[in-house]
Amino acid sequence: MKSFALTFTALVVVLTTFSQGYTVNGDASELGGNCYNITPPVTNQSGSIWYNDQIDLNEPFDIQFTANFDDSEAGADGMVFVFQQVSNTVVGTDGGDIGFGGFDPSVGIEFDIYQNGNRSDPIFDHIAIISNGSVDHNAPTNLGGPVQASLTDPNIEDGLDHIVQISWDPNSNLLSCWFDCELRVEATTDLINDVFEGDPMVFWGFTGATGGQFAEMNLCLDPYILGLPEVYTACPGDEVQLIFSETVIGTYSWEPAEYLDDATIPNPTAVVYDTTTFVLTYTDLCGVTQIDSTRIDVEYLDIDLGPDFSLCPGESAELNPGGDYDFEWSTGSEAPSISVEVPGTYYVDANQGNCYGSDTVVVSLGDGVTGVDYAVVNTICGEETGQLMVESVEGSGTAYFFDIGGASQSDSVFDNLAQGFYTLTVTSQDGCFISENFTVNSDLLVNADFVADPLEGFNPLVVNLTDLSTNNTNILYFVGDEVFPGNTQSITFEDAGSFVISQVAWNNSLACSDTAEVVVQVTELIDLFIPNVLTPNGDGRNDKLTVMMMGLQELDVIIYDRWGTLVHEDRVEVGELGSFDVWDPSDASDGTYYYVISGISLVGDRITKEGNLQVLSN
């Protein structure tokens, strides 16, 4: 019944194919219907099948499958269910290690149909829980068994499909194996910490191998390891296949059956028009019943024409639901959008295959606004005292809202307006509106005025200022480029000339200003110019005592000889400007003379000059 063979193990990467949720490697192959051949009936073969994604050993794990170990009592070597962390594309070597050797860390449940003495195999076909790539039952890596695989027969190479169930409970750390619905072996082991060093993520699958002897070993997986999808989505009347398994293992009963083409198969086709939940009652090969459910959510096209709205008189609106669908409007149009100009109820039906949707919108006639009468009060220049008063609104509404660029208000009066351009918008309760532009002008009330005293005189001339301006906030005085503050009480003119004093008065802004001006005439006062030598020889030069002056209205002239005798005395009316002959020395003897000349200025001041002069006739 059994024969002995010595083998060695190693992990190798081989040719890989992918099948739904599983990866098939090495000499293994897919048979269809969730069934797989682990080893063909050929010597020295090694194959593996791995679920594509890792699982978390913190979660419970249950799987049921059927296994066929051929019908030859001399067959070899067997198959192993494995948890490992290498990858989903590896296989072990052929022979007595059954493709499990070299996986470290790992946990396996072996189904051994060949007795290898060097691995302490019993004579009967057996099951054992093993770990870390070793199938030696005397090694500390052996966690449970070996036990006879079948409760009733030492030989499982009988050509029959045997029911196998493997279960892992992380709460109790219990790993169990049933064969033909009988519990055969279990082990309590902390797989996460004692085997996988704290890492709970593992690949699971099957390895198998032949050596000098061979057997064709097949298995068919219980699809319930994957469970049902939670939700399908479909349009009304769509055909939806409920995917459970390609393998008919056990019996199936779906409810409600009336929406299914066959309620007793793993993957029936459903047709529903409303969201429906289907319940599957699945009974496995050991008579264990499991219940799960899935749901088909029936979805409709999202068609939205927006909220109901009012259409203002004389206006139109576009109704556009969006989307690339076939449309049919209540107007008979099949266009993607329509333009409406009259009130009414409008609806649209949209279709895309079996999917459909619709929406309705009510368009009412809004209260129109056709005109507005208003009055504007100007603002004071530099202030915000303007006002707008809406006097009447022409329209079909009973209440209106007003705004001029700020917040909308029901009050028809706007106060405190500055100078500028505005837009008045009058809106009805239905959103119809009219807009009018208006201007708030400004009234200039500023009056610049002042008194300057005196307006004329000789330099230096002090001119006193008295402010008489009104309706202003600020003033400045200007003389040419020179600026004087508004509280200036006098301005002194050092130089002679004609000067303009300007007063600029304004109200808050220079744009709101007024100007007043006065002219000040300043006359320069010059000293008397008196020569110190006279030559009365008749040549026309210095023959007489001629004085030059400016700003004098009369002169008093007194001449003395060197002994103090009065020689000449006279009063001359001279005016303001010029040169005047005040003494003819032609009868005087040559010598030194003394003069006293004084004048009265235009403002009444007396100016006096005294000095000596020489008379030289030859």
- State how far the Cα of 80 lies from the Cα of 147, in Å rounded to an integer: 15
pLDDT at residue 442, as a whole number: 87
Q: What is the pLDDT of residue 541?
A: 87
pLDDT in tens, 466-515: 999 999 999 999 999 999 999 999 999 988 889 999 999 999 888 889 99
- Residue 494's identity, in one-letter code, is E
- Token pair of 113 as six digits: 């149909």
Residues near 58 by beta carbon (within 8 Å), at least 6 away in sequence: 170, 192, 200
Q: What is the pLDDT of residue 503?
A: 95
Is pLDDT at 153 greater than 80 in this prediction?
A: yes
List the single range of 184-193, 237-246, 301-310, 581-590 with lowest mean pLDDT: 237-246
| SS3 of 299-368 | CCCCCCCCCCEEECCCCCEEECCCCCCEEEECCCCCCCCEEECCCEEEEEEEEECCEEEEEEEEEEECCC
Report pLDDT for 231. 86
420 has pLDDT over 70: yes
- Predicted pLDDT of residue 238: 92
Pairing assessment for the beta strands 289-298 and 231-234 based on DSSP bridges: parallel
Q: Name the pairing type of β-strands 46-51 and 22-26.
A: antiparallel
Report the mean per-residue pLDDT for the chain: 88
pLDDT band for position 526 (cuts 50, 70, 90): low
* pLDDT tens sequence across 327-347: 999 999 999 999 999 999 999
**In the predicted model, is pLDDT for residue 195 greater than 80?**
yes
Which has the closest alpha carbon to 598: 564, 618, 574, 615?
A: 574
Asked whether 471 and 479 are in contact (CB, 8 A), the reply is no
**Number of CB atoms found within 10 A of residue 321's CB:** 21
Closest by CA position to 223, among listed 150, 160, 156, 285: 285
Token readout for 460 is 């230096």
Per residue in 139-152, pLDDT (tens digit) is: 999 999 999 999 99
Question: In this predicted structure, what is the pLDDT of residue 89?
Answer: 93
Please indicate whether residue 14 or residue 166 has the higher confidence score (pLDDT): 166
Q: For residue 598, what pLDDT is reported?
A: 87
The pLDDT tens digits of the residues spanning 109-129 come to 999 999 888 888 999 999 999
Query: How many other CB atoms are there within 10 angstroms of residue 521's CB atom?
Result: 14
When pLDDT is cut at 50, 70 and 90, the band that residue 464 belongs to is very high
Tokens of 105: 């860390």
Question: Does 351 have pLDDT greater than 90?
Answer: yes
